[in-house]
Amino acid sequence: MKDYASLIDRERVPRHVAIIMDGNGRWAKKRSLPRVEGHRRGAQVIESLMDAAIELGIGVVSLYAFSTENWSRPKDEIAGIWRLLEIFFEANIEKIRGKGVLLRHSGSMRHLPASTRRIIEDSVGQTRGNGVITLNFCLNYGGRQELLDAVNGWAASRRPGDRITGRALERHLYTAGLPDVDLLIRTSGEHRISNFLLWQVAYAEMIFTRVLWPDFKPRHLYRMIYEYQQRDRRFGGL
């Protein structure tokens, strides 16, 4: 097996890696387990992923954890996801703080359980000031809704005669202050971006893998960073 970690040029790692963590349900189904067990195992991947990202010097990792469309799933599965999220933060916040991780939340707080809102806000507050890496949890997130919210936010703050610009719009995005996505990864074999970071992925390189999210290992991330570095990013130029 090729040692991709040793082949990576540490001077050219992507600043912002976004991941669509797909395949938890299929992972569980293959093992005749409840879907929520797939989500639980998927949550366990995050720590080793972040350790690898820190080692590589990646600046931002955005994780698509729950979309605005996921509300259509069975109520017991949704409740299980929120409980797992709360357990994740409760169990890991000290390690997250100790590693210098800055937590961000991108998405709407509307409709989230009160206990989930509280633990998100508390966890984000506890890591304020950290700067080793930013972990951006995209929860109750939808790219189209983000753009609508950003336009409405700009409109509410505009002065007479102001015209909207890309820079002005970006100040009202959930991800305000974060760099555009350089690399988008989706697990489980699907080839869609599924309403994720529509503005931010405009020039992102995309890698799709058949690996289900609970089986995703640091070696997969190293291989994808190496593949990213083999591409010629021209941003519309020659």
Structure tokens at 124: 């984000």
Instruction: State how far the Cα of 113 lies from the Cα of 115, in Å rounded to an integer.
Output: 5
Phi and psi at residue 48, to the nearest 5°: -70, -35
Q: In terms of Cα–Cα distance, which of 62, 86, 85, 82 is closest to 73?
A: 82
Neighbours of 49 (CB within 10 A): 21
Catalytic one among 51, 70, 76, 180? 70
122 is catalytic: no
Catalytic one among 3, 9, 22, 149? 22
70 is catalytic: yes
Q: Which residues are catalytic?
A: 22, 70
